[in-house]
Copies of this chain bind each other. A is one copy, B any other.
Amino acid sequence: MSAGTIKLDSMLCFAIYATGHAFTRFYKPRLDALGLTYPQYLVLIVLWERDDITVNALGNRLFLDSGTITPLIKRLEARGLVSRKRDEDDERQVRIRLTPEGRALQDKALAVPLTIARGTGLTREDVDRLRAELLTLRDRLDSQAEGSKSG
Protein backbone atom coordinates (compact mmCIF):
# COMPACT_ATOMS: atom_id res chain seq x y z
CA MET A 1 0.00 0.00 0.00
CA SER A 2 1.36 3.45 0.79
CA ALA A 3 4.34 2.09 2.71
CA GLY A 4 7.27 4.37 1.99
CA THR A 5 5.78 6.88 -0.40
CA ILE A 6 2.59 8.83 -0.95
CA LYS A 7 1.24 8.13 -4.45
CA LEU A 8 -0.59 10.94 -6.18
CA ASP A 9 -2.30 8.52 -8.56
CA SER A 10 -3.93 6.59 -5.75
CA MET A 11 -5.35 9.64 -3.98
CA LEU A 12 -9.11 10.14 -4.12
CA CYS A 13 -8.80 13.75 -2.95
CA PHE A 14 -6.60 14.60 -5.94
CA ALA A 15 -9.07 12.97 -8.34
CA ILE A 16 -11.80 15.17 -6.86
CA TYR A 17 -9.57 18.26 -6.88
CA ALA A 18 -8.54 17.77 -10.52
CA THR A 19 -12.05 16.86 -11.72
CA GLY A 20 -13.42 19.94 -10.01
CA HIS A 21 -10.97 22.12 -11.94
CA ALA A 22 -11.79 20.29 -15.17
CA PHE A 23 -15.49 21.01 -14.56
CA THR A 24 -14.78 24.69 -13.97
CA ARG A 25 -12.77 24.87 -17.19
CA PHE A 26 -15.51 23.03 -19.08
CA TYR A 27 -18.15 25.43 -17.75
CA LYS A 28 -16.11 28.53 -18.50
CA PRO A 29 -17.01 29.19 -22.18
CA ARG A 30 -20.70 28.52 -21.41
CA LEU A 31 -20.74 30.81 -18.39
CA ASP A 32 -18.66 33.48 -20.12
CA ALA A 33 -21.59 33.81 -22.51
CA LEU A 34 -23.76 34.73 -19.48
CA GLY A 35 -21.08 36.94 -17.95
CA LEU A 36 -20.88 34.71 -14.87
CA THR A 37 -18.22 32.79 -12.97
CA TYR A 38 -19.02 29.28 -11.71
CA PRO A 39 -19.58 30.35 -8.07
CA GLN A 40 -21.76 33.24 -9.25
CA TYR A 41 -23.77 30.72 -11.32
CA LEU A 42 -24.27 28.59 -8.20
CA VAL A 43 -25.50 31.58 -6.21
CA LEU A 44 -28.02 32.43 -8.91
CA ILE A 45 -29.24 28.80 -9.03
CA VAL A 46 -29.94 29.00 -5.30
CA LEU A 47 -31.81 32.29 -5.76
CA TRP A 48 -33.78 30.93 -8.73
CA GLU A 49 -34.88 28.09 -6.45
CA ARG A 50 -35.79 30.42 -3.58
CA ASP A 51 -35.59 34.18 -3.82
CA ASP A 52 -35.15 36.67 -0.95
CA ILE A 53 -32.80 34.75 1.35
CA THR A 54 -30.08 35.88 3.75
CA VAL A 55 -26.33 35.77 3.19
CA ASN A 56 -26.19 33.06 5.84
CA ALA A 57 -28.80 30.88 4.14
CA LEU A 58 -26.95 31.23 0.85
CA GLY A 59 -23.70 30.24 2.54
CA ASN A 60 -25.22 27.21 4.22
CA ARG A 61 -26.65 25.98 0.94
CA LEU A 62 -23.30 26.34 -0.87
CA PHE A 63 -20.99 25.54 2.08
CA LEU A 64 -19.37 28.98 1.88
CA ASP A 65 -18.91 31.69 4.50
CA SER A 66 -19.61 35.43 4.44
CA GLY A 67 -16.01 36.18 3.48
CA THR A 68 -16.68 34.47 0.16
CA ILE A 69 -20.37 35.31 -0.28
CA THR A 70 -20.28 39.03 0.52
CA PRO A 71 -17.86 40.18 -2.20
CA LEU A 72 -19.40 37.76 -4.71
CA ILE A 73 -22.87 39.21 -4.08
CA LYS A 74 -21.50 42.72 -4.45
CA ARG A 75 -20.24 41.81 -7.91
CA LEU A 76 -23.66 40.42 -8.85
CA GLU A 77 -25.20 43.62 -7.47
CA ALA A 78 -22.82 45.74 -9.55
CA ARG A 79 -24.01 43.79 -12.61
CA GLY A 80 -27.60 44.58 -11.67
CA LEU A 81 -28.59 40.92 -11.14
CA VAL A 82 -29.39 41.07 -7.42
CA SER A 83 -30.19 43.62 -4.72
CA ARG A 84 -29.17 43.66 -1.06
CA LYS A 85 -31.40 44.95 1.73
CA ARG A 86 -31.18 44.82 5.52
CA ASP A 87 -33.93 42.71 7.07
CA GLU A 88 -36.32 45.12 8.81
CA ASP A 89 -37.09 42.70 11.64
CA ASP A 90 -33.45 41.77 12.26
CA GLU A 91 -31.01 44.34 11.03
CA ARG A 92 -28.02 42.02 11.42
CA GLN A 93 -29.25 40.10 8.42
CA VAL A 94 -29.00 41.11 4.78
CA ARG A 95 -31.53 39.67 2.39
CA ILE A 96 -30.56 39.00 -1.24
CA ARG A 97 -33.17 39.37 -3.95
CA LEU A 98 -33.12 38.89 -7.70
CA THR A 99 -33.72 41.91 -9.88
CA PRO A 100 -35.87 41.47 -13.01
CA GLU A 101 -32.58 41.14 -14.93
CA GLY A 102 -31.41 38.42 -12.56
CA ARG A 103 -34.68 36.57 -12.97
CA ALA A 104 -34.57 36.97 -16.74
CA LEU A 105 -31.11 35.44 -16.92
CA GLN A 106 -32.60 32.10 -15.87
CA ASP A 107 -34.00 31.55 -19.36
CA LYS A 108 -30.60 31.92 -20.97
CA ALA A 109 -29.07 29.65 -18.33
CA LEU A 110 -31.44 26.75 -18.95
CA ALA A 111 -29.38 25.46 -21.85
CA VAL A 112 -26.23 25.19 -19.74
CA PRO A 113 -27.01 22.04 -17.70
CA LEU A 114 -28.02 20.19 -20.86
CA THR A 115 -24.66 20.97 -22.48
CA ILE A 116 -22.83 19.96 -19.32
CA ALA A 117 -24.78 16.71 -18.94
CA ARG A 118 -23.91 15.79 -22.52
CA GLY A 119 -20.28 16.70 -21.85
CA THR A 120 -19.91 14.28 -18.97
CA GLY A 121 -20.79 11.34 -21.22
CA LEU A 122 -22.54 9.74 -18.25
CA THR A 123 -26.06 8.37 -18.02
CA ARG A 124 -28.55 9.97 -15.64
CA GLU A 125 -28.19 6.88 -13.44
CA ASP A 126 -24.40 7.09 -13.31
CA VAL A 127 -24.58 10.79 -12.46
CA ASP A 128 -27.08 10.15 -9.66
CA ARG A 129 -25.07 7.32 -8.16
CA LEU A 130 -21.76 9.19 -8.35
CA ARG A 131 -23.35 12.32 -6.89
CA ALA A 132 -24.88 10.37 -4.00
CA GLU A 133 -21.54 8.76 -3.18
CA LEU A 134 -19.79 12.12 -3.19
CA LEU A 135 -22.40 13.78 -0.97
CA THR A 136 -22.13 10.94 1.55
CA LEU A 137 -18.37 11.43 1.54
CA ARG A 138 -18.73 15.20 1.90
CA ASP A 139 -21.04 14.84 4.90
CA ARG A 140 -18.71 12.35 6.54
CA LEU A 141 -15.68 14.60 6.07
CA ASP A 142 -17.53 17.70 7.27
CA SER A 143 -18.96 16.00 10.36
CA GLN A 144 -15.50 14.82 11.38
CA ALA A 145 -13.88 18.17 10.66
CA GLU A 146 -16.34 19.74 13.12
CA GLY A 147 -15.32 17.38 15.88
CA SER A 148 -11.55 17.58 15.45
CA LYS A 149 -11.01 21.34 15.25
CA SER A 150 -8.38 21.13 17.99
CA GLY A 151 -6.94 17.75 16.96
The interface of chain A, by Cβ under 8 A from chain B, is: 1-2, 5-8, 10-23, 25-29, 38, 42, 45-46, 48-49, 61-63, 106, 109-110, 112-114, 116, 119-122, 124, 126-128, 130-131, 133-135, 137-138, 140-142, 144-145, 148-149, 151
Contact = CB atoms under 8 A, between A and B. Distances in A.
B13 A16 contact: no
Contacts of A15: 130-131, 134-135, 138
A140 B122 CA distance: 10
B140 A121 contact: yes
Contacts of A142: 22, 25-26
B19 A138 contact: yes
B63 A18 contact: yes
Contact of A148 (B18, B20, B29): B29
Nearest to A25: B145
A103 B15 CA distance: 24
A11 B48 CA distance: 15
A45 B27 CA distance: 29
A7 B106 CA distance: 12
Nearest to A21: B63
Q: Which of A8, A116, A135, A141 has the most CB of B within 10 A?
A: A141
A146 to B, nearest CB: 10
Contacts of A27: 13
